[in-house]
Structures are given as C-alpha cells and as structure tokens.
Amino acid sequence: AQRVTQPEKLLSVFKGAPVELKCNYSYSGSPELFWYVQYSRQRLQLLLRHISRESIKGFTADLNKGETSFHLKKPFAQEEDSAMYYCVISGAGSYQLTFGKGTKLSVIP
Amino acid sequence: GAGVSQSPSNKVTEKGKDVELRCDPISGHTALYWYRQSLGQGLEFLIYFQGNSAPDKSGLPSDRFSAERTGGSVSTLTIQRTQQEDSAVYLCASSLDSVNQPQHFGDGTRLSIL
C-alpha cells in the first residue's frame, strides 16, 4: 500500500527565509509524485510534479529514492506562499492519488 | 464554466437522512474522481470514473455510499442513512485522461450531519 507522510502540520517562516516542506513516502515500485496547494479561499490545485522537473513560483522538489523523500523547497519565502500544501503520490501508470495530511505554511511578514 | 462545479456548496442534514452531492466536470474531461476530506485529515479517495468503463469503487467506506455518472459527464454521490461520521468536505476532481494527469478540483461540498 502506498502512504505519504508530512511530518509538520504547521510551518511558520519569516518572509525572505528559506522554506522546506518535508514529505516522505512509502511505495514498493516507481511512484509519480506531486505537490498540490490550496491558497486561502481557492481550490486545491497542482503546484508541481516531479517528472516535469520544473520550478513553479520559485518552488522545486527533488525525488530522493534512497530516502523515499520528495521535499518541497523555496530559497526565499513570500507572503503569498502562505497556504496548505499536500504531498501526493501515485503509482506509475495509476490514476489513484494518495494524499498526505498536509502542511500549513504561514509566512510571517 | 471553466472549472469543476459542485453543488450544493454546503449541506446540513439530520442523521438518518439521504443526501445527494453533484459534480459537473470540466468539459472534455473523461476521468472523474470523488474524495472526502475529514477534519484534520488528508484527502481520502472514494470512487473513480473513466469513460464508459466500470467505476473503481474501492474507496467507498460503506454500502451507504454510491455514485453515478450519467452520459459520461455529471456525477452524483449519494449517501444513504447519513451518520455523524459522514460529516466532511466532499471534493470532486476531473482530468483529461486518467493516468498521471493533473486533477482539477471543485470547491467541494461541506456536509454537516446533525
């Protein structure tokens, strides 16, 4: 069974400080990994996916298969980054998404 | 509409009543998903529809839960004989295809069972 762990329910950082949202997963095969984000009063939406290897809104995430981690990082946090972030896993070729419980990021001005 | 539409946005009902939640996916999206988010929890997969294939109902928590998708478009999630533990936000998502495609979410229906 696949499982996603986000150890921090709440993370507070000051504006301009680096951010790292932790995510560890459990899956026996080769997973697809995503970060979804929900800003205040907005819908849940895809932020980035590891196969795209892209940077969205300054965020990046590297898949570390040895540590089974997919941490989300940004070098300089902005106030508009305050949101709920979900790490999500899907088995290769699968449609089912398994969500972590989420980390609420609060960026302090 | 440009996005996934869900109705009602809020539903309050008494324990034991039946409820129907509606989802209108993005036009052209063949895959449709229902999730449940209970307080303090991540999203829990409920059911998945893809085209004319038989739905994957493996996430439905009990036989009180059922869902239909008519004409490959609008979907209805029905909860019979509601219980207090059914209180949650029910989210619908759709995608162009099913395999590893970004899912587009609606605003959800907040269901409260008294």
Residue B1 pLDDT = 52
B70: amino acid identity, one letter: T
Give kind and range of the element (H or E) at residue B88. Answer: strand B88-95
- Cα distances from A43 to residues A1, A22, A84, B61, in angstroms, run 28, 22, 11, 24
Nearest to A86 by CA among A100, A97, A96: A100
Q: For A84, which residue in chain B has the nearest alpha carbon?
A: B42
Q: Would you state the pLDDT for residue B17?
A: 97
User: pLDDT tens digits, chain B, 114 residues: what are they?
Assistant: 579 999 999 999 999 999 999 999 999 899 999 999 998 778 999 999 988 888 999 899 999 999 999 887 899 999 999 999 999 999 999 998 766 678 999 999 999 999
Are the beta carbons of A45 and B48 separated by less than 8 Å? no
Shortest distance, CA B66 to any CA of chain A (angstroms): 18
Nearest CA in chain B to A35: B102
pLDDT at A97 over 90: no
Nearest-CA distance from A28 to chain B in Å?
17
pLDDT of residue A87 exceeding 70, the answer is yes
- Shortest Cα distance, chain A CAs vs residue B92, angstroms: 11
Where residue A30 falls among pLDDT bands split at 50, 70, 90?
confident
Task: Reply yes or no on whether the pLDDT at A94 is more than 90.
Answer: no
Mean pLDDT of all residues in A91-105: 86
- Confidence at residue A28, expressed as pLDDT on a 0 to 100 scale: 79
CB within 8 Å: A43 and B106: yes
Q: What's chain A's average pLDDT?
A: 91
Q: Are residues B31 and A95, on separate chains, in Cβ contact within 8 Å?
A: yes
Task: Please name which of B17, B19, B43, B55 lies closest in space to residue B106, comparing C-alpha atoms.
Answer: B43
pLDDT number for residue A27: 87
In whole angstroms, give the CA distance from residue B97 to residue B3.
Answer: 16
Q: Chain B partners of A102 at a C-beta cutoff of 8 Å?
A: 42
Q: Which of residues 25-64 of A touch B (CB under 8 A)?
A: 32, 34, 43-46, 49, 51
3-state secondary structure chain A: CCEEECCCCEEEEECCCCEEECCEEECCCCEEEEEEEECCCCCCEEEEEHHHCCCECCEEECCECCCCECCEEECCCCHHHCEEEEEEEEECCCCCCEECCCEEEEEEC
